[in-house]
Structure 1
Amino acid sequence: MNNTDKTAPQKTGKRVNWSEVKQRLEAAQVAIDRIWMPTPEDTQKTLQARAQALAREVLPAEAADAGIEVIEFLLAHERYAIASECVREVYPLEELTPLPCTPAFVLGIINVRGEILSVIDIKKFFDLPEKGLTDLNKVIVLESADMRFGIVADVISGVRRIMRADIQSSLPTLTGIREDYLLGVTSERVVILDAGKLLSDEKLIVQEQVGD
């Protein structure tokens, strides 16, 4: 008797179809991907939830003190600033035409692309003493729904944001007409003008002054 024949492993004769196995594995991976891959609607909901969560995380103090964006400029070596939302443009001071019978703070008028605008010297408007030489070669055009005019400047320093917490309401040295048109003064001694009050002041309407 041949014992070897009894102990040898039995072969089924069935071969593994590796192509079919591969297809099954790929199908399983696709199913897994579908489970973990969110739909566009799910993605949108997730993004909205994250945005709402981030909005709630904003500190109340930071939200309250978002600051104001201003254009800072120099006038006779003093630093001034005015809210950029009231500034239409900065224009070179050229061909200034003086006007008779107007207050001293009205330097004259200029033609800005066909529009005639009055030009104001805020230092004279504030009755401030003249200090040092000044070039007065820039005009900052202020504009509201009902009024527009220009104020002169020597140099435009640029646009910046000033935190409201850094603005002092007034200083002992700022009194009278000057203080009435101020938002305040920063710790860097930048005088912030109140554009709203300037643009609503009837004294700055040149047409009403002519002929007085």
Structure 2
Amino acid sequence: MITRTLGFQKRKAVSGNSLELEQNQNSPRATVDSTWVPSNEKIQQILQLRALALAQELPAQEGRNEDIEIVEFILGCERYALESCYVTQVAEVEDITPLPCTPGFIRGIVTLRGEILPVIDLKKFFEVPEKELRGRNKVIVLQAGKMTFGILVDEVLGARSILAIDIQSSLPTPMGIRKKYFKGITSERLVVLDAENLLMDESIVVDEQVAE
């Protein structure tokens, strides 16, 4: 509430000691007392602005609280994960055919569902300590756009969901993993990798003629 001040002067009455107040109309502070109340139109405008500001804040909060579907696996002695939206299949294969003239982290090629795919050894790519594989080779096939390849892992633990807000990207990257392939670590020490950046890395691209 805004109250405007009125200006007055005191003067002695003609008789007695009583005082009376006389409004000084010439005073620059002399105004009319009033109370400001916003119009209905102004109230609606304020409410609309508040609703708009709230609507802009909600998507960011919801994005951090949403569930992310992941495929969890083991490399060496650590647990890792990739977003399920980039995983097309998980397979066990007996043999991986070596490829000549390729980087050391290219394990070779496999044929899955009639398609020839290169297989990346993530332990060599990330310089993770080697662990002897037992049984068949476990391959997780990743795809984004036209890019498809498999990654060789020690063990596939399965698929589940985690909260996006639980992925802490500010923590130091684990040894051997470059920053661009690292999305973060959860409170349970699960290392979440960036599948999209892996798939977009030109150093992993295998010449189709070599693969064939």
TM-score when normalising by structure 1:
0.64
Gaps of 5+ in 1: 1-55
Change (3 A) 1:122 1:162: same
Alignment match, 1:164:
164
Alignment match, 1:200:
200
Give the letter for the 1:133 counterpart.
E
Give the letter for the 1:73 counterpart.
F
Mapped partners of 2:173, 2:155: distance in 1: 24
Q: How does 1:1-212 map to 2 (within 5 A)?
A: 61-62=61-62, 64-130=64-130, 132-135=131-134, 137-172=137-172, 174=174, 177-207=177-207
Mapped partners of 2:207, 2:86: distance in 1: 21
Change (3 A) 1:170 1:98: farther
Mapped partners of 2:128, 2:155: distance in 1: 19
Q: Is contact 2:91-2:139 (8 Å) kept?
A: yes
Which stretch of the first structure deviates more once superposed, 150-159 or 82-91? Answer: 150-159
Give the letter for the 1:143 counterpart.
Q
Gaps of 5+ in 2: 1-54
Change (3 A) 1:178 1:128: farther
Change (3 A) 1:209 1:126: farther
Give the letter for the 1:200 counterpart.
M
Which stretch of the first structure deviates more once superposed, 172-181 or 157-166? Answer: 172-181
SS in 2 for 1:168: coil
Mapped partners of 1:156, 1:191: distance in 2: 14
TM-score when normalising by structure 2:
0.64
Change (3 A) 1:123 1:209: farther
Mapped partners of 1:155, 1:173: distance in 2: 22
Mapped partners of 1:178, 1:93: distance in 2: 28
Identity of aligned residues (%): 55
Mapped partners of 1:78, 1:176: distance in 2: 12
Q: Deviations over 1:23-65 (max 9, x none)?
A: xxxxxxxxxxxxxxxxxxxxxxxxxxxxxxxxx9xx8745642
What is the deviation of 1:188? Answer: 1.2
Change (3 A) 1:173 1:143: closer
Count of aligned pairs: 152
Superposed CA RMSD in Å reads 2.4
Mapped partners of 1:145, 1:204: distance in 2: 15
